[in-house]
Every structure is written in structure tokens, then in C-alpha cells.
Amino acid sequence: MLTSYITNEEREFALELLDFINESPSSFHTVESIKKILIPHGFQELRLTEKWPLIPGGKYFLTRNDSALIAFIVGLGMPEKHGFRIIGVHTDSPSFRVKPLPEMLVEGHYLKLNVETYGGPILNTWLDRPLSLAGRIILRGKTPFSPELKLFRSDHPLLVIPNLAIHMNRKINEGIELNKQKDMLPLLTQVTKNLQKEGILLEHLAKALHCPPENILDFDLFLYDNDKGCLAGLQQEFISSGRLDDLAMVHAGTFALTQSKPTLMTQVLVCFDHEECGSTSQQGAASPFLSHVLERILLAQKKDRETYFQALAHSFLISADMAHALHPNAEVKHDPVIHPILNEGPVIKISANQSYTTDAASGAIFADLCQRVGVHVQKFVNRSDERGGSTIGPISSTHLDIQSVDIGNPILAMHSVRELGGVKDHLAIAKVFSEFFKDL
């Protein structure tokens, strides 16, 4: 009988991640899932529109656009000497967003939805899967400037993006280019006598929310894979799920912060939105969201702007996004020497052209944190003739003068509707994050 090398603790923590991902089909739901973890651990919600009565050791969080969140524990020491310890992650994942007036009639028989690609999904992985809708719906409020916001997720599969049969496309296995406007529109329903052809989606949403259709002013709705994630592999050593990028880091960072005790420095978890499409929004890493919150934390403690800049000089940011593992069928796509492996520990991401913020000093700090908790650390670089991706680290560095490192757990099939990670890696990174939030 084969004995698994996955411990019960690692397995249970991976299952907790799968539950978290299942409850977080959109960035709006992700923020709600984080809040459900924070509040029972004593974190109090703050409003951007109000003054903040912060106390040393106090636990707080705030949101922006219902899709980004910053949580923190106020430090017990002098901020100008101890600064901030920050973990940065993102709440969004590649998907498809429903366009306004989305119903499209096909020869009087089918209704499909008009959608727009969000981020950079691997298109063919979305075909022939049971898909659902999730996001938020905006309802009429008391005034135009106080609309009512409601979370929405369909409770059963609603959509399928059907493939074209091989008999009608004989070269399909030789590789084809999918057109985002023509080939990636999901089938919603079949037209029948009792089914209206216009406004059917709005009617469905209104029925789910128990409100008149005319009360729905707008919506932010995205497609997601309705199939739940699971453990896989002969030893159940793999995590197979959508949205591992970047909800695995969101979950681990939230866990680490809730398990932390107040320390001399202020511990911060920042969950940005819109990383997958450039971060250039009010709640993205390219916004002043984080810098303003950090400054307000010090202003609430009667500190001045000079103290703020001193605090930044004593601070450190871990930009936590997922990394590329060695692909078993595409070794040639990787650097010839450096090969991150699933279940071998977190990955320090390095780029000579500053696609990542890591340098020798910040990478060494993270490697030492891993060593202190007995976690093996790996490194990633792109092939010299391949252009890799980037993440929130370099974007945040253009707004905040803070030493930073880019890291992440290794996964396969990044940006697929179903990604593959390692069970051991998830608990490992949570241990490193917890160590990072300690007084050292």
C-alpha cells in the first residue's frame, strides 16, 4: 500500500483553501469571504469616509469597491522605527465579463450572452464546461448616490461555451485560434413559446433577488467554472481548482494575519483588484489606495508626514502571486537550469528587467524567513528569449518607497479555468507568512 507523504495538517489546510475558493467566484465574493474570516478574529471594519479611532494592537480592515480590502494590526512600537510588514495579493482572476444588453438571439432558437474577455484566460479551457455567473448587482437606492449593492451567484450551472465538432473542423487538433467575440459566447438557453427573448437575464436576476426588474440599474457579472476544486494525484498531492491564482495567496495571507499577535511593527494584508488587467483602477495596485491607508494609520496616531516616510524606510513588502512550475510536457519552455517543482516550496521570482521587484537583498530576506520555519525555497527566472508576466510588486513600488520581494507558490496551467498546485506548498507559504508577521 502506498503511503502518502502529505500530512493530515497539509491536507486539511488545502481543503480549507478549496472551500474558500468555492465561496469566492468573483472578486466581490472574495472580499466577503475574507471578511468572514477576519471578523470572528476581532477585526473591526473602518470606513474611508470616517475618522479612524485606532489604538495600538487594534485589528481593523476596510474595503474599496467591495472588491479590494486592506486589513491590519496596529503596531505597538514607534512606527518611525518599526514601519510596516505588508503582504500584497490580488482578488481577481481571468474570466469573461457580461456586457450590457447581453442577450443575442441565434436564428430564433438559441439565446447566448455577449461577453468580454477579462484578463488573459486560456480560452480553450473554458469550452464545454458547466459555467455560472457571479458578481454584484446594483439596485435603485434612496438617492442616485446611494444605490443598494447585492452579491449574486447562480446556484446552478447556467451557461456552456460549446466547442465545434471535429467533423466540422477537421484541423481542430492541429491548433486553431479562437476568436473572443465569435467563438467564446456562452449559450444561455433555448427559445420556447413561454420564454421571452429580451431582458431574460434581467428577469432571472430580479427573480433571484426578489425585486422588480426595473429596480436593477446595472451589474458587474463574470463567468466562473461551476465545478468545485478537488485534491488529485496518486497521493492526493495536487490541488486542482480554478482561481488558485491568486486566491491561494489571499487565503494564506488572511490566515497568517488572523493568527498573528500584535507586534512592534504594523502588520498589513492588502488585497488589490484588477491585477489581471493592469491594476489601473481605483482599487488596483497602481492606485494610491495602499499609500493613503498607510498614511492614515499614522495620522490616526497623531504622527506627521515625516514619520510616515521614516516608517516606509523601515518597511518590507511581500508581493505574493503564483509562479510557474516546471511543466512535465514542456520542459523546453523553461530556463535550462532553474526548474521550480510542485510541492517543493514557495518560489522567489527574479527578473533582470524588473518585471519582479526581487533583488539579492530582498530575496535573501525571504529565503531566510523560509529557512527559519523549515520551508524549502525555490527560484524562478524566465528563459532569456521569452517575455514573462508581471504582478503587483513593481506597480506598488512606483507608488511606495518600500523594499520588496516577488514570490508565489508554483502551479501548472496558470490562467486556465482549472489550475494545478501542490498541497504541501499551501501550508508552507502560510507558515512563512506567519513568520514574516512576527517581531524578528
- Identity of residue 113: L
The pLDDT value given to residue 3 = 53
Which three cell numbers mark 368? 531566510
Torsion of CA 16, 237, 336, 93, to 10 degrees: -30
Which of 407, 388, 392, 393 minimizes the C-alpha distance to 346?
Answer: 407
Which three cell numbers mark 65? 469597491
* Alpha helices, DSSP H, located in 231-275: 244-258
* Cβ atoms of 276 and 90 closer than 8 Å: yes
Query: Can you spell out the DSSP letters for 387-419?
Result: -----HHHHHHTT---EEEEEE-EEESTTSSSE
Residues 6+ apart with CB under 8 A from 190: 109, 110, 111
Which whole-number Å values give the CA distances from 121 to 125, 126, 319, in the listed order? 8, 8, 22
Neighbours of 1 (CB within 10 A): 2
Which three cell numbers mark 202? 434581467
Half-sphere exposure of 354 (CA within 13 A, CB side): 6
* Cβ atoms of 283 and 68 closer than 8 Å: yes
CA-to-CA distance for 245 and 229, rounded, in angstroms? 13
Query: Can you spell out the DSSP letters for 333-349?
Result: GS-SS----TTS--EEE
The pLDDT value given to residue 1 = 44
Neighbours of 169 (CB within 10 A): 12
Digit-by-digit pLDDT tens for the chain (440 residues) are 455 689 999 999 999 999 999 999 999 999 999 999 999 999 999 999 999 999 999 999 999 999 999 999 999 999 999 999 999 999 999 999 999 989 999 988 999 999 999 999 999 999 999 999 999 999 999 999 999 999 999 989 999 999 999 999 888 898 889 999 999 999 999 988 777 667 899 999 999 999 999 999 999 999 999 999 999 999 999 999 999 999 999 999 999 999 999 999 999 999 999 998 888 888 989 899 999 999 999 999 999 999 999 999 999 999 999 999 999 999 999 989 999 999 999 999 999 988 899 999 999 999 999 999 999 999 999 998 887 777 888 888 888 899 999 999 999 999 999 999 999 999 999 999 999 999 98
Q: What SS3 class is residue 241?
A: strand
CA-to-CA distance for 205 and 153, rounded, in angstroms? 10
Max CA pair span of the chain:
72
* Cβ atoms of 154 and 133 closer than 8 Å: yes
